[in-house]
């Protein structure tokens, strides 16, 4: 083990990968092959510009920040598709096709699941969504939406039990099988950046962002609350990875289109109906 309890293993792996030679397959499209990981990591880091870590601690406090975030996340599929096609490898191509169908399927559900949050907060600005939870975190009234969002987030980030695009037992490593050295690191960083990003987004949408759990604890800085909630959600990602087995691909598609999507639509109509009823008649 590298370091105490192996905590330095990630640093050792990073140094090892950076020192390796970058191999480009002879039959690949060289330029597009190298553009794909750059596109993936740029889009992954670009999403962080609208994440508020504390009150007014945000790079761009856009009014349509949530729409911008999902527009950027929907473009991540292009880096994966390009990498699988440019590699000119059957394993990479199968992995990118799996990833494309998976991301498209669960992107729709994620878009629908956040609509109840928008109805409750009356805003697409992430800071406004946090401030609208000053009396009650949305995790309590919208717990079913949170569960569906979390399941869809696992599929969006290719985490177990939905890591079908990178199934080592079937596809060796999926769309990034032909990549090595620094270009593989770009895919690796982008993937884990998306996990951290989706944890931050769940913190903002359902757990009150930087707001304290109790008013008597408001002396603790908001960014510490935000970081703690985000780390807790990231821990659940890791916990699930070590607990659950992998789904079959047909089960993945069935769950996305015939279970999560109808439930998401039902929650949207239920939330809108209840909100309209209480607003109009009470």
Distance in angstroms between the alpha carbons of the first and the last residue of the chain: 63
In a domain, 165, yes or no: yes
Percent of the chain having pLDDT more than 70? 95
CA 166, CA 244: separation in Å to the nearest integer?
Answer: 16
Nearest one of 124, 118, 113 to 156, comparing CA atoms: 113
In a domain, 112, yes or no: yes
Give Cα separations from 16 to 9, 10, 93, 180, 256 (angstroms).
Answer: 10, 10, 27, 11, 38
Mean pLDDT across the chain, nearest whole number?
Answer: 82
Task: Look at residue 171 and tell me whether its pLDDT is greater than 60.
Answer: no
In a domain, 245, yes or no: yes
In a domain, 277, yes or no: no
Q: Summarize the confidence of residues 3-31 as an average pLDDT.
A: 78
Task: Please report the pLDDT score of residue 167 as a whole number.
Answer: 60
Task: Please report the pLDDT score of residue 168 as a whole number.
Answer: 59
Q: Summarize the confidence of residues 163-192 as an average pLDDT.
A: 74
3-state secondary structure 57-82: ECCCCCCCHHHHHHHHHHHHHHHHHH
Within 10 A of 276 (CB to CB), how many other CB atoms are there? 11
Q: Summarize the confidence of residues 91-102 as an average pLDDT.
A: 80
Task: Look at residue 170 and tell me whether its pLDDT is greater than 60.
Answer: no
Q: Which two tokens stand for residue 194?
A: 């998306």
Task: Please report the pLDDT score of residue 203 as a whole number.
Answer: 92
Q: What's the pLDDT tens digit per position in 35-52?
A: 888 888 888 888 888 888
In a domain, 167, yes or no: yes
In a domain, 3, yes or no: no
Q: Summarize the confidence of residues 174-193 as an average pLDDT.
A: 80
Q: Report residue 275's pLDDT band, with 50, 70 and 90 as the boundaries.
A: confident
Domain, as residue range, for 245: 18-266
In a domain, 5, yes or no: no
Give Cα separations from 277 to 142, 149, 270, 271 (angstroms).
Answer: 17, 25, 10, 10
In a domain, 9, yes or no: no
DSSP 54: B
Q: Summarize the confidence of residues 18-38 as an average pLDDT.
A: 80
Task: Look at residue 215 and tell me whether its pLDDT is greater than 80.
Answer: no
Q: What total number of domains does the chain contain?
A: 1
């Amino acid at each position: 083990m590298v370091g105490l309890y192996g905590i330095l293993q990630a640093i050792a792996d990073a140094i090892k990968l950076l020192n390796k030679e970058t191999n480009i397959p002879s039959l690949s499209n060289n330029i597009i092959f190298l553009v794909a990981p750059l596109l993936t990591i740029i889009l992954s880091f670009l999403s962080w510009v609208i994440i508020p870590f504390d009150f007014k601690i945000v790079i761009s406090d856009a009014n349509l920040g949530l729409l911008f975030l999902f527009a950027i996340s929907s473009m991540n599929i292009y880096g994966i598709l390009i990498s699988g096609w440019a590699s000119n490898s059957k394993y990479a191509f199968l992995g990118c096709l799996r990833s494309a169908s998976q991301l498209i399927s669960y992107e729709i559900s994620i878009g629908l699941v956040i609509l109840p949050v928008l109805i409750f907060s009356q805003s697409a600005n992430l800071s406004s969504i946090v401030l609208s939870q000053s009396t009650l975190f949305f995790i309590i009234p919208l717990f079913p939406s949170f569960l569906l969002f979390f399941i869809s987030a696992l599929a969006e980030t290719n985490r177990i039990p939905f890591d079908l695009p990178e199934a080592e037992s079937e596809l060796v490593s999926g769309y990034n099988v032909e990549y090595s050295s620094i270009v593989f690191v770009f895919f690796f960083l982008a993937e884990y950046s998306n996990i951290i990003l989706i944890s931050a987004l769940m913190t903002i949408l359902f757990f009150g962002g930087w707001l304290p759990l109790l008013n008597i604890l408001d002396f603790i800085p908001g960014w510490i609350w935000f970081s703690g909630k985000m780390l807790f959600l990231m821990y659940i990602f890791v916990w699930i990875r070590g607990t659950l087995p992998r789904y079959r691909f047909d089960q993945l598609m069935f769950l996305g289109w015939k279970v999560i999507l109808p439930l998401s639509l039902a929650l949207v109509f239920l939330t809108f109906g209840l909100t309209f009823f209480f607003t109009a008649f009470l």
